[in-house]
Amino acid sequence: MSELTLSAPAPLPVRTRRWRPVLWLSLLVLATVLGWALAPGLFSSIDPLHAMPAHALQPPSAAHWFGTDHLGRDLYSRTVHGASLSLRATTLAVLIALLVGGAIGLVCGYFSGRVDSLLMRLVEVLMAIPSLLLAMAVITVLGFGTLNIALAVGLSSVATFIRLTRGEVLRWRASTFVEAALSCGVGHWAIIARHILPHAAGPVLALAALEFGGAVLAVSALSFLGFGAPPPQPEWGLLIAEGRNFMVAAWWYTTLPGLVVAAVVLAANQIARALQKSWGDNR
């Protein structure tokens, strides 16, 4: 019995050490991009709108880390300054989905009733529609622009948050300590604030981290299609769209900004995975 007890826990630390560097690298990527968004001047002193036609389509070098575009503008500087526009829209989209979807799912899951049944049928319909297609439909109504992209992407993700929040609230609503609080005369909103929200918040926040990566992709895709900020604004999707006509002559034009988008999405997904694992271990 003693030999079995000593040998059983051995594999767990190995797996933890394997994933820890990936998580730290993901945090570093997001911290760097967040720094770009908050203080781009600290990372690049070159004006992202300054054109130098004589330096057009130069490959990456010590002077231009990401090369230059067809007008001679520094692509690294444009990518750094573009983080402000892209991440602002992404953060706003996730906040809209989290707050609106979370509030509706919380009320529906706790109080239930006919309104809950009707809303869930609507949620099932919305989740059957691809989110990017739904976002394009919304932005067609709202009009073009970075703010409208954020609203469209956020509204297209509301149904996912409603469904998850409602499921978590239903799960904890049936728990023994909530029933005990109700029997003692504690008010519904006090129970929600003290008992339901602290337990249901974990998976919802993990979903928000996961949706952040999806929102980066959606915002960049809509900007790529021309729904975002007009040129010469250095939005990430617009940078990739401008470089598609020069992919043979200037591979860096589209590739390097695209790799930045991919790195942010992968980092957000890795952090969401770590949050889900941490929440699952603490249940």
CATH of the domain at 94: 1.10.3720.10
CB 257 within 8 A of CB 266: no
13 token code pair? 């630390």
Backbone angles phi, psi at 55, to 5 degrees: -110, 25
Indicate whether 62 pLDDT > 60.
yes
Q: Enumerate helices (H) and strands (E) in the chain, giving the number of each.
A: 12, 0
In-domain check, residue 44: no
Q: Cβ of 252: how many Cβ atoms within 10 Å?
A: 22
How do the residues of the chain divide into helix, strand and coil, expressed in percent and rounded to 5? Answer: 75, 0, 25
User: What is the C-alpha separation between 77 and 135, in angstroms, rounded?
Assistant: 29
pLDDT at 19: 55
What are residue 74's DSSP bridge partners? 68
Region 182-208: mean pLDDT is: 83
Q: Is 74 helix (H, G, I), strand (E, B) or coil?
A: strand
Return the higher-pLDDT residue of 14 and 87. Answer: 87
Return the higher-pLDDT residue of 183 and 240. Answer: 240
Return the higher-pLDDT residue of 19 and 67. Answer: 67
Say how many CA atoms lie within 13 Å of 22 toward its Cβ: 14
Give residue 161's domain range. 25-37+70-281
Rg (CA), the chain: 23
In-domain check, residue 116: yes
pLDDT at 100: 92
Q: How many domains does the chain have?
A: 1
Per-residue confidence band for 122, with pLDDT thresholds at 50, 70 and 90:
confident
pLDDT at 280: 58
Question: 2-36: b or e for each residue (b if 16 or more CB lie within 10 Å)?
Answer: eeeeeeeeeeeeeeeeeeeeeeeebeebbebbeeb
Indicate whether 5 pLDDT > 50.
no
In-domain check, residue 12: no
pLDDT averaged over the chain? Answer: 85
Region 30-36: mean pLDDT is: 94
Rounded to an integer, what is the distance from CA 107 to the centroid of its chain? 24
In-domain check, residue 264: yes
Indicate whether 218 pLDDT > 80.
yes
Rounded to an integer, what is the distance from CA 10 to the centroid of its chain? 35
In-domain check, residue 109: yes
- How much of the chain exceeds pLDDT 70, in percent? 92
In-domain check, residue 115: yes
The residue assigned the tokens 């974990």 is 202
| Cα-based distances in Å from 77 to 18, 56, 204, 209, 276 | 34, 15, 35, 27, 35
In-domain check, residue 127: yes
Per-residue confidence band for 17, with pLDDT thresholds at 50, 70 and 90:
very low
Among candidate residues 93, 105, 88, the one with its CA nearest the CA of residue 37: 88
pLDDT in tens, 139-179: 888 888 888 999 999 998 999 999 999 888 888 887 787 77
What are residue 68's DSSP bridge partners? 74
Single pTM value for the model: 0.83
- How much of the chain exceeds pLDDT 90, in percent? 42
In-domain check, residue 19: no
pLDDT at 281: 53
pLDDT at 248: 86
